[in-house]
Amino acid sequence: MRRLALGLLLVLAFVCARIPTALAAAGAVTLSASATTIDYGGSVRLTGQISPATGGQAVDIVDSAGAVLAGTTTDAGGGFSSSVSPEANVTLHAAWQNDVSPDVSIGVRAILTVRLGAVRLFDRAAVRGTVAPAVAGATVDVTLTRDGKPVADRGTTMGAAGGFRATFPIDEPGTYRVRAAFADAGHVRGTAVDGPASTPLPSLGVGSSGIFVLLLERRLVELHYRLVDVNSRYDFRTADAVLAFRKVQRMLRVFTVDAGVWRALADPLRPRAKSTANGFHIEIDQTRQVLYTVRDGSVTNIMHVSTGKPSTPTREGSFSVTRKLAGYSGHQLYYPSYFDGNRAIHGWTDVPTYAASHGCVRVPYWNAQWIYGLAAIGTRVIVYH
Domain contains 181:
yes
CATH of the domain at 241: 1.10.101.10
At 245 the pLDDT is: 98
What is the pLDDT at residue 13? 41
DSSP helix/strand/coil, 178: strand
Whether residue 286 is found in the same domain as residue 257: no
pLDDT at 10: 36
Domain assignment of residue 221, given as a range: 211-266
What is the number of structural domains in the chain?
A: 4
- Between CA 49 and CA 4 the distance in angstroms is 47
In a domain, 23, yes or no: no
Q: What is the pLDDT of residue 55?
A: 97
Residue 266 phi/psi, 5-degree rounding, is: -75, -30
169 and 144 belong to one structural domain: yes
What is the model's pTM?
0.85
Residue 293 identity: T
Decide if 380 is inside a domain. Answer: yes
* Residue 289 and residue 254 in one domain: no
Do residues 339 and 358 both lie within one domain? yes
- Distance in angstroms (rounded) separating the CA atoms of residues 263 and 219: 12
Q: Is residue 35 part of a domain?
A: yes
Same domain, 144 and 216: no
pLDDT (0 to 100) of residue 141: 98
Of the residues 108, 142, 167, the one at which a domain ends:
108
Mark whether 285 and 358 lie in a shared domain. yes
Q: What is the pLDDT of residue 61?
A: 98
Q: For residues 297 and 380, state if they share a domain.
A: yes
Q: Is residue 4 part of a domain?
A: no
Q: For the beta carbon of residue 81, count every other beta carbon within 10 angstroms.
A: 13
- Tell me the DSSP string of 108-175: EE-EEEEEE----TTSEEEEEEEEES--TT-EEEEEEEETTEEEEEEEEE--TTSEEEEEEE--S-SE
Q: Are residues 216 and 258 in the same domain?
A: yes
Which 8-state DSSP code applies to residue 204? Answer: B
Helix (H, G, I), strand (E, B) or coil at 227: coil
pLDDT at 192: 98
- Is the bond preceding residue 364 a cis peptide, omega within 30 degrees? no
Give domain status of residue 17, yes or no.
no
Q: What is the pLDDT along the chain (385 residues), one digit of tens a residue?
A: 444 444 443 333 443 444 333 333 346 999 999 999 999 999 999 999 999 999 999 999 999 999 999 999 999 999 999 999 999 999 999 999 999 999 999 999 999 999 999 999 999 999 999 999 999 999 999 999 999 999 999 999 999 999 999 999 999 999 999 999 999 999 999 999 999 999 999 999 999 999 999 999 999 999 999 999 999 999 999 999 999 999 999 999 999 999 999 999 999 999 999 999 999 999 999 999 999 999 999 999 999 999 999 999 999 999 999 999 999 999 999 999 999 999 999 999 999 999 999 999 999 999 999 999 999 999 999 999 9
Q: Indicate whether 285 and 380 sit together in one domain.
A: yes
In a domain, 218, yes or no: yes
Instruction: Say yes or no: 298 and 360 in one domain.
Output: yes
Are 116 and 164 in the same domain? yes
Find out whether 89 and 187 touch, Cβ atoms under 8 Å.
Answer: yes
> Are residues 380 and 333 part of one domain?
yes
Name 78's Cβ contacts closer than 8 Å, sequence gap at least 6.
49, 50, 51, 52, 53, 54, 55, 57
Domain assignment present for 349: yes
Residue 176: CATH number of its domain? 2.60.40.10
Residue/partner pairs of 234-239 with CB below 8 Å, 24 or more apart? 234/204, 234/205, 234/206, 234/207, 234/208, 234/209, 235/206, 236/206, 236/364, 236/366, 237/364, 237/366, 238/206, 238/213, 239/205, 239/206
